[in-house]
Amino acid sequence: MTERTGQAHEAGTIDRLMAGWVADVETPDACAAHLLCDRWPADAVAFRFVAEDMSAVDLTFGELADRSRRLATGLAARGVTRGDRVPVMMSKREELVITLLALWRLGAVHVPLFTAFAAGAARMRIEGAAARLVVAEPRQAEKLTDIPGIEIIRTGPEWDALADSAPLGEDVAVGGDGPIALLFTSGTTGRPKGVPVPLRAAAAFAVYLTCAVDLRPEDLFWNAADHGWAYGLYYGIVGTLVLGATSVQYRGAFSPATMVEVIRSQGITNLAGAPTMFRALAKAGEVTEDAPLRLRRVSTAGEPLPPSVLEWGRTALGTEIRDHYGQTELGMVICTLAHPELAAPPRPGSMGVPLPGIAAEIRDGQIAIDAASPLFWFPGYLGEPEKTAERFTPDGRWYLTGDTARQDDDGWFFFSSRDDDVILAAGYRIGPFDVESVLIDHPRVQEVAVVGLPDPEGVRGEEVVAFVVPAGAVADPDALAAELQAKVRDEYSKHAYPRRVHFVDRLPKTPSGKLQRFLLRQGAAG
């Protein structure tokens, strides 16, 4: 089954294509390198890398195949073998995708490390993956040098020498259940949990890009999300590869102006990104009804967009912004579908209906996914059977997302809230524990609680806010707040520092001592 994206648009083909993708990845001899690269025409473009000056370099499937085969030989000589978990800490560049394909040729597992992570956050994930080797850019490798027991391969001369090896003779087949990636998802308490992503998840990614994003062969697709997180990896790398589509990777920093320049200079027709991007673009005034972008499809996921931004999108972008819902453990599962066989106009406030191949319903107020669905792939958290069991109903039939919603009479889902405390800021899921564990180490912090509150500027969705019980009197609150913010930026991640720090006498708790973050949110809002 090697049909590319365009053949999904003949009448009545969705079920047939979905069955074909599932069959491709479910076989015991399924090979990631073949499914994601080698079966496509050598001259077809897999990735376009766009620099800040808008110059672009295309990487074809043939080039990707050859260069990844050579690097795979070099990595094998360094001891990488089937099942090894190899963290990769790189920006959007050719070496990144070549490294991933090389790992998959060896049956190894990619562990993405967000490049904004500080040393502590990266170390937690490297140790959680039990990794012994990391591939990183030199400036990222500087964060990792104090981690014991790991070997670092740096891009540049060292990486180039490995990539100059003879081509690998035979790829490793891992089968549908073989993991190709390990992501870590943040929760409200405890360390981040490892989510193995099996090869068979690629079928679900293909269905999402076909049915919800409506990706076609004539499209130039840009998923602006970062590949260090699920949406960017699943749908900017793996999903486009399984469809044989071209994925644009912009190497510069985000701003509304550069976003518009990339779209116009490259001729982007199909765009996906975090809600914060579209809120920022709407506020910046870079795109108006008088100078629209004329995109064919626009998709977003992460948190609901306000009606004002949705209305702006219809005229300024040339098409509706379609909202989608998912999790690291699931991929996208509830979507405002865009494929011609399935499309319906977006409904204000709704994230859509279940993706074909997914059954979902509301159980006890929260979104639940039927684990018997053909495209359900979550195998459980790495080494945490108790945490895994908490995600399912006692009979194991339903996966419980922890997100509350309602469903109308037509089956459309409307997001209500999270019944946990994960913060959705600028499209990122931030676990309060991750930030609190950094702040509590400060000698002038006695207790701390972190919550998400609405961004007063309406751009980031939520922002991280810290409530700190200080250890003693605070002579200069502004100075201490700045010190705490810098500590999170330096020791955890730039994307997760508290935008506001409040010093309080005590934190609200239950009689048993459990922190009541919802009271902090209510108090701040009220």
Give the pTM.
Answer: 0.84
- How much is the average pLDDT of 488-515? 84
What is the structure's pLDDT at 8?
A: 39
Specify the residue for token string 């116009």.
264
pLDDT at 517 exceeding the cut of 90: no
Backbone angles phi, psi at 346, to 5 degrees: -60, 145
Domain 423-525 architecture = 2-Layer Sandwich (3.30)
Q: How many CA atoms lie within 13 A of 425 on its CB side?
A: 26
Question: Long-range contact list for 251-256, CB < 8 A, 24+ apart?
Answer: 251/49, 251/50, 251/51, 251/52, 251/91, 251/92, 251/93, 252/50, 252/51, 252/52, 253/52, 254/224, 256/280, 256/281, 256/283, 256/284, 256/286
Per-residue pLDDT, 187: 58
At residue 118's C-alpha, the angle toward residues 115 and 123, to 5°, is 95
**For residue 411, which of 337, 341, 311 has the smallest C-alpha distance?**
337
In Å, how far from its chain's centre is CA 469?
Answer: 33
Specify the 3-state DSSP secondary structure of 195.
Answer: strand
Indicate if the pLDDT at residue 514 is higher than 60.
no
Judge whether residue 526 has pLDDT over 70.
Answer: no
What does the alpha-carbon distance between residue 116 and residue 177 come to, in Å, rounded to a whole number?
A: 31
pLDDT at 418: 64
Task: Tell me the domain boundaries of the chain.
Answer: 61-197, 423-525
Average pLDDT in the chain:
91
Topology of domain 61-197 in CATH is: Rossmann fold (3.40.50)
pLDDT of residue 189: 56
Could you tell me if 313 and 297 are in contact, meaning their C-beta atoms sit under 8 angstroms apart? no
Weakest-pLDDT range from 97-106, 127-136, 313-322, 457-466: 457-466
Nearest to 414 by CA among 319, 304, 330: 304
Maximum Cα–Cα distance across the chain: 70
Strand pairing of 193-198 and 413-418?
unpaired
Beta bridge partners of 49: 57, 249
Nearest Cα to Cα of residue 447 among 399, 372, 505: 505
How many whole angstroms from its chain centre is CA 511? 38
Backbone angles phi, psi at 364, to 5 degrees: 55, 40
Question: In this predicted structure, which of 60-74, 175-189, 355-369 has the lowest mean pLDDT?
Answer: 175-189
In sequence order, what DSSP letters do the residues of 404-455 get, joined into one string? EEEE-TTS-EEEEEESS--EEETTEEE-HHHHHHHHTTSTTEEEEEEEEEE-
pLDDT value at position 284?
81
pLDDT score of 297 more than 70? yes
pLDDT in tens, 195-245: 999 999 999 999 999 999 999 999 999 999 999 999 999 999 999 999 999
